[in-house]
Copies of this chain bind each other. A is one copy, B any other.
Amino acid sequence: MRNRTGPGRPRDPQLDAQVLAATQELLVSAGYQATTIAAVARRAGVVTTSIYRRWPGKRALVEDAIFALDGGHLPVPTGELRADLLAWTRLFLDAAAQPAARSAIPGLLSEYHDDRESYRRLLDRGEQPTRAALRELVIDAASRGRADAGCDVDALFEFLRGATLIRALTHGAGDADAFCARIADALLAVATTAGQRINPNQ
């Protein structure tokens, strides 16, 4: 067992990586419920206090492990909106379909059932860079006449996220080509249509 992280010692990035990798592995091999701090510590070969020094609890650790999976790289815009939307759909699907993510997402959703604020924080954390980048992509396409500047980017994002998440949980990344092509086409329809003014009485 490692013993490099006594109080007062500086954080050890290698230890962090080791703990995150152990968490990812356990999520896949043992499932969310069995991915406890104690089990992660055993697998990573560290003491639990080393983990608690860095993460307040299981939720935070699992969240970090899931975010560490996806390199955080969004597709580089190609100048062709349909191709860009296809790349985004693929990225969202692949991220949610990774075995550790598929194991963790329902588990986290379950824990957040009575804790909506944490859940929203999680979503916001995952969403922040992506929602803004999608908006930028669409604005840029609109400036070239390839999207409608008045389209509803929030709805676009919600469609993208919702459809890929359910698909990933039900089908994984299998047989994804046709699915992603269909979703990209339908997203393009949203991007090229002006959102109507909302009538709050409807």
Instruction: Show the binding face of A for B, using Cβ within 8 Å.
Output: 31-33, 83, 86, 102-103, 105-107, 109-110, 112-114, 116, 119-120, 123, 151-152, 154-156, 158-159, 161-167, 169-172, 177-178, 180-183, 185-186, 189-190, 192-193, 195-196, 198-200, 202
Given contacts A110-B110, A158-B166, 11 further A-B contacts (CB under 8 A): A32-B113, A105-B109, A106-B107, A109-B110, A116-B170, A116-B171, A120-B170, A155-B163, A181-B200, A185-B195, A189-B192
CB distance from A198 to the nearest CB of B (A): 5
Q: In the complex, are the beta carbons of A196 and B185 less than 8 A apart? A: yes
Q: In the complex, are the beta carbons of B186 and A155 less than 8 A apart? A: yes
Given contacts A163-B162, A178-B200, A202-B181, contact A119 B186 (CB under 8 A): no
Q: Tell me whether chain A's interface is mostly helix, strand or loop, or mixed.
A: helix
Q: A162 to chain B: which residues have CB within 8 Å?
A: 158-159, 161-166
Q: A170 to chain B: which residues have CB within 8 Å?
A: 116, 119-120, 123
